[in-house]
Amino acid sequence: GGGGGEGIIRDHQGQFCNAFSANFGRCLAFRAEVRALGMGMEIAKRAGYTKLVVQMDNAVCVSRRKKVRLIIVGIVCIW
């Protein structure tokens, strides 16, 4: 089916900084999650953030994003 993703970027105090959503077309749910994580990380990188805490329900996605030059300082699984 159709895959999509979205995310919210907050600062270190939890204040809203940015949000995004995207339609990835026909793809598996895992691929959509990986792509959404990549989009969020790219937005954070462009905004100048160098350290991230990623909160999502799929820790495997986070482990797949090793090529991005950001330091993931924490992973919070929300399931």
**Confidence at residue 77, expressed as pLDDT on a 0 to 100 scale:** 47
| Residue 58 reports pLDDT greater than 80 | no
Q: Work out the average pLDDT over 24-33.
A: 87
C-alpha torsion 75→9→42→52, nearest 10: -30
70 — pLDDT class (breaks 50, 70, 90):
low
Number of Cα atoms under 13 Å in the Cβ half of residue 5: 23
State the average pLDDT over residues 16-44.
88
pTM to 2 decimal places: 0.72
The stretch 44-66 carries a mean pLDDT of 75
Provide the pLDDT for residue 64: 63
